[in-house]
Every structure is written in structure tokens, then in C-alpha cells.
A and B are shown apart, each in its own frame.
Chain A
Amino acid sequence: MFELIGIPPQALFGQLLLGLINGAFYAMLSLGLAVIFGMLNVINFTHGAQYMMGAFAAWLLLGILDIPFWVSLVLAPIIVGLFGVVLERLLLKRIYHLDHLYGFLLTFGLALVIEGLFQWKWGSSGAPYPNPIPGGYNLGFMFLPTYRGFVVLAALVICLATWYGIERTKLGAYLRAATENPTLVRAFGINVPRLITLTYGLGVGLAALAGVLAAPIQQVSALMGTNLVLVVFAVVVIGGMGSIMGSIVTGFGLGLIEGLTKVFYPPASNTVIFVVMALVLLIKPAGLFGQTK
């Protein structure tokens, strides 16, 4: 059947897998952006830089302390998350009362500083990170590298765990309540500023976790998050930041659309997500899962 339209199944499924992997990163990153925006009212432009820091943390832990990938998977997000907590305490918390614009500009500036410093120290060419689970499976219609399959599964687990944490646990309930009405939640004796700091740390940690997962697939380089974060913005506009599940579905879905475009019309694969964004703005300006405020 696939040969009929001139596309060998290996190419089709290969690109679909690639799309799924990209989608996994879109989902994890847009999830973090949505969680942070919900609580802090700040669009975290530093997200791409923090994703890059996660990859770098894993790479440095391996190179200097010989710490294996599986430990870094836990350690790196904690380190970068703590860095996020410091940023929030030092800078971000002072601008919540201002227009959203200033948070955007502040985090943009921070991204420039972080990426510039990493580029200065380690250059922009990038370093390889060894694949922790080499090998793969021949599925008949395609070859599945084990690590890539793992990334998709891990991303799904991470996304669903985040969804569960926010929608189904007590802490998540506090978070959602504080998003709706922080004053009232404070009246119940809950330390909202600490909750906000924690949220930012978690969101940043999520970005860093995505970075660690990306390290063995991509080159670890100072600018690996620069373009990614711009695509993730488009994903966020398409999905709307109102719903956690919405971010996950949109992220994976757009990754698949991108993969399919690579099969059928490669020159448009870079731009297809932006075209989808334009269409969504025409048809449903609030985003697929967004509510109009």
C-alpha cells in the first residue's frame, strides 16, 4: 500500500518515530511553560536555556564526576531546578505585579546571558553524549533504536505524572487554587509565595529533565534550546495554556504532523507548525484547548 504512493514504510515509520520524539520534547517543554505561566503569570523565555542547562549538567556530571546517565536523570533536574529557585527568589518575584511584558523581557535577557556564557565557555559546536542504551529492535516494518523508544515512553510517563500531580493530588489542588485566587488561598494559611517558588523550580526542572533526555540524541551545545523554545511558543499558542492535558496532546500531535510533513513535503517541515498556528488563530483564536479570558 505504501509503495503505491511512492513512500517506503521504513521512511514513513522512521519519520513518524522522529516526529514522536520531537513531539515528546514539545509536550514536556510546553507543559513546563504552561505550569509556570499559570502560577507566575510569566512566560518563561529562559525555558530553552534551562533545557540546555539540563543537557550540560548531565554531560558535565559524566565528564567530570563520571556519574552515569541514570543518576543524572534525577540529579541534573534537581541542580537546574535549584538554579531556577534562586532566579525566582532573586529576580522574578520582584516583577509579578508588573505587566506580563516585563517577565517576558526579563527571562529573555536571562536566556541571552546564560546562553552567551555557555557559548563563551564551551563554544557552540557541541559535544556528543554517549547513548546509555545502544542497540535496537527490528520491528519488521522499521528499525527501532532502544533509546529512542525509551525517550518516547519516558516523556509520556513524565507528562502523565505531571498531569496526575497537578490534577489529582492535594498539592496540585493547592496549586490550582492559588492560580485562581492567591489571596483566598493565603487566608487558609498556605504559604503562596513558597508555592510559587516551588512551581518555578518544578517547571525549570521539567525543562532540564527534557534536556537530559535529549543529550544522547542531540549534540550537547549552548544553543540547542534557542530555536526549540520558539517552536514551543507556537505549540503553546496552538494548544492554549489552559489545560495540562491539552499541552501534552498538542505537543505530541504537532511532532507527528511535523514528521509526516518531512515524509510528504520536506521543504515545509520547518515551517509547518507555524502554518498550523496561523490556521488555529483563524479558526479558534483562543487555542485548541484554551479558554478566552
Chain B
Amino acid sequence: MMSPSQRMIVAVAVAVLALAAPWFAYPVFLMTALCFALFACAFNLLLGYAGLMSFGHAMFFGMAGYFYGHVVKAWDMPPELGLLAGVGGAALLGLVTGALAIRRQGIYFAMITLAFAQMVYFFCIQAPFTHGEDGLQGIVRKPLLGGLIPTKDDRVLYYVVLAIFLFGYGAIYRFIHSPFGQVLKAIRDNEQRALSLGYEADRYKLLAFVLSAALAGLAGATKAMVLQFATLTDVSAAMSGEVVLMALVGGLGTIIGPVIGAFIIITMQNYLAATGEFVLVIQGLIFVVIVMAFRKGVVGEFSEWWKRRSEPRAQPKAAD
């Protein structure tokens, strides 16, 4: 554990970095990375704290993008309503698919969510409002709060996205540290025992699923607002795999891990974009390496190293 003063230094450094970032990095890249970071945090809320691995989270992320685009472009409504539609739509989709998926456990849960996401994907190919293979393009950025915040300037929009991210991240932090989060962890660690104590495990799991879906929706709708389009890529199984990878790289069950994982993966994709298929090959290799050797992820491994470093006289633990 870091001491309070060390924590303070890190917190201030991160805050300064986050505020100054758009002046030395490309704002659109930062905004995209923040959207994926929120997406990965939402996914991790479910896997890290409820022990449920959804392999279909792209359906919430991608559909929310479509909802946002449809509300803002086809219905010509303000972007705030678009974001609300994205979050609400994703939550509703989460309620339906979650209620069905939590009827099975473990690996079946992953396969069921994956199958539902594939169903949503096939639906999106055919549905008229998604514009199929073309995607929903040219969703014009409109000013927020009735004209108070102009969003044409990428740097201004960056602070809006940062605020949305912090709202989502704060919400997840609150969930995890609330009594609700404690019960969720109890269910994750021993469902039978939680049941015997009188907690209705299924209701807690479903609530966690819906919250996670809603936050993934917030991330997806925000991404559509930033990039001004919504496409099939965001609802595909590959996207579902990508968010798993982000959380895994960063460290499952750590609250900051998915953020770091998202930045690593998005940066990597940026540099490798020109190599085509090799992005997939390298992502696949990262999966393999992490599962075989670094299951704790960047944050998990780092905090272990930090612990060892700060307690040099402690008994060395036997390798497992």
C-alpha cells in the first residue's frame, strides 16, 4: 500500500496530466481512449466485482452509439437526449439479456452473452436505422447545455468527455464501496453462503449487469458523439473481445486497471493500424501471454512489485 502522501502526489500528478493532456496529445485520440477506458471499467465492474464474464459487452457499447446517432441525427434532438437514449437503451437491453444470461453460470454465462451479442449484431446488419454496412455517419456535433458549451473545438469537447468519464468512474467507485458492492463481492466469492445469509443473489447480479450495461452504453454514446459515427464494428464480437483484453491487460478486479489497459490497447492499435491483420495477431498473442504468465495484469503485477519493494524485510513468499 502507498502511504497517504504518496497517494496525494500520484493523484495530483494524474489530475494535472488529465487537464493538460489535450495541449500535447491529439484530443480525438484522448477522447476515444477515455471512452474505451469507461467501457472497460463498466465491463470490469461485472467481471471483477460480480465474477460474471460477459463476452457480449459490445452490444451495449455499439447499440448505445446507434441510439445516440438516431436520436441526434434522424430525430434532430439535442445531444444530451442522445446520451440519455444511449444509456437508457443499453440498460434496457442489459435488463433483458441479463435476466436470461444469469440463469446459467460460469462459462455458459460467457457463451450466452456472446450469443446474444451476435444476435444483436445480425439485427444491426439488417435493421434500417443502423444503415447496415455503411453505418450511421455524419452525426453532427451540436453544442451542449443549450448552446453554453460549443463542441466543435476538440479541446473543449475533451473536457466534456473527461467529465463524463469521471462521472462514470465515480459511479463505479461508489457502487463498489457501497453495501451493494460488498454483497456483490460476497456473491462472487461464495454464492451459496450469500444465499444462505438471505441475499437474493440473482437480483444483485442482475442489478450489476444492468449498471454495467448502462455505463458501457454511456461510453458508446459518448464515442458516437466524439467521432460522429456509429458502425457495425462497435457491436461485433471482436469489440467484445477487445474490452475483455483491455480489462485483462490492466488487471481484473482493480479499479484503475481497465483505464490503463484501455490506454495501452488503444495506443497499440494506433501504432499498428497500418499493419492490417497484424493488429489481431498481436492482440491474440497478448491474450495468450497474459493468460499464461501475467494473469494479474499491469496494475496487479505493479502493486505486487511495489509491496515487495516497500517491505524488503518481509519473508519472501514461496513461488506458486
| Interface flag for A105 (CB, 8 Å) | yes
A271 to B117, CA, bound (A): 11
Please give the distance in Å from B241's CB to the nearest CB on chain A.
6
Interface residues of B in 75-121 (CB under 8 A from A): 100-101, 103-104, 106-108, 110-112, 114-116, 118-119
A281 and B104 contacting across the interface, CB-CB below 8 Å:
yes
Interface residues of A in 83-113 (CB under 8 A from B): 91, 94-95, 98, 100-102, 104-106, 108-113
| Interface flag for A231 (CB, 8 Å) | yes
A270 to B120, CA, bound (A): 10
A227 to B281, CA, bound (A): 18
**Which of B111, B122, B284, B295 interacts with A113 by CB under 8 Å?**
B284
Known pairs A112-B281, A230-B118; A237 contacts B288 (CB<8 A): no
A95-B292, A230-B115, A237-B112 known, 10 other contacts, Cβ within 8 Å: A43-B110, A101-B53, A104-B55, A108-B284, A113-B281, A113-B284, A120-B277, A120-B281, A230-B114, A234-B115
Which A residues are in CB contact (< 8 Å) with B104?
237, 281, 285-286
A237 to B110, CA, bound (A): 10
A236 to B108, CA, bound (A): 9
Question: Nearest CB to that of A270 among chain B residues?
Answer: B122
Question: Nearest CB to that of B126 among chain A residues?
Answer: A267
Known pairs A91-B288, A104-B107; A116 contacts B280 (CB<8 A): yes
A88 to B85, CA, bound (A): 46
**Which of A91, A104, A116, A278 interacts with B278 by CB under 8 Å?**
A116
Which B residues are in CB contact (< 8 Å) with A270?
122, 125-126
Question: Nearest CB to that of A118 among chain B residues?
Answer: B277
B115 and A116 contacting across the interface, CB-CB below 8 Å:
no
Main secondary structure of the interface of A (DSSP, over half): helix
Instruction: State how many residues of chain A have any CB contact under 8 Å with chain B.
Output: 42
**Which of A120, A230, A282 interacts with B100 by CB under 8 Å?**
A282
| Interface flag for A163 (CB, 8 Å) | no
B114 and A116 contacting across the interface, CB-CB below 8 Å:
no
Question: Nearest CB to that of A284 among chain B residues?
Answer: B103
Please give the distance in Å from B117's CB to the nearest CB on chain A.
9
| Interface flag for A243 (CB, 8 Å) | no
A237 and B277 contacting across the interface, CB-CB below 8 Å:
no
Question: Nearest CB to that of B276 among chain A residues?
Answer: A120
Which A residues are in CB contact (< 8 Å) with B116?
274, 278
A115 to B278, CA, bound (A): 10
**Which of B106, B248, B287, B291 interacts with A112 by CB under 8 Å?**
B287
| Interface flag for A119 (CB, 8 Å) | yes
| Residues of A in contact with B (beta carbons under 8 Å apart) | 43, 91, 94-95, 98, 100-102, 104-106, 108-117, 119-120, 226-227, 230-231, 233-234, 236-237, 267, 270-271, 274-275, 277-278, 281-282, 285-286
B237 and A230 contacting across the interface, CB-CB below 8 Å:
yes
**Which of A98, A267, A274, A278 interacts with B118 by CB under 8 Å?**
A274
A281 to B116, CA, bound (A): 12
| Interface flag for B123 (CB, 8 Å) | yes
Which A residues are in CB contact (< 8 Å) with B284?
108-114, 116
Please give the distance in Å from B178's CB to the nearest CB on chain A.
26
Interface residues of B in 277-305 (CB under 8 A from A): 277-281, 283-288, 291-292, 295
| Interface flag for B230 (CB, 8 Å) | no
A113 and B115 contacting across the interface, CB-CB below 8 Å:
no
Q: Give a binary string over B117-154; 1 marks a CB under 8 Å from any A CB, 0 the rest.
A: 01100110110000000000000000000000000000
A100 and B106 contacting across the interface, CB-CB below 8 Å:
yes
A74 to B139, CA, bound (A): 54
| Interface flag for B244 (CB, 8 Å) | yes
13 pairs across A/B with beta carbons < 8 Å? Answer: A104-B55, A105-B244, A105-B248, A108-B287, A113-B281, A114-B284, A116-B279, A230-B118, A230-B237, A233-B111, A234-B111, A281-B112, A285-B103
A109 and B278 contacting across the interface, CB-CB below 8 Å:
no
A94 to B289, CA, bound (A): 12
**Which of A112, A234, A286 interacts with B241 by CB under 8 Å?**
A112
A230 to B121, CA, bound (A): 12
A237 to B108, CA, bound (A): 7
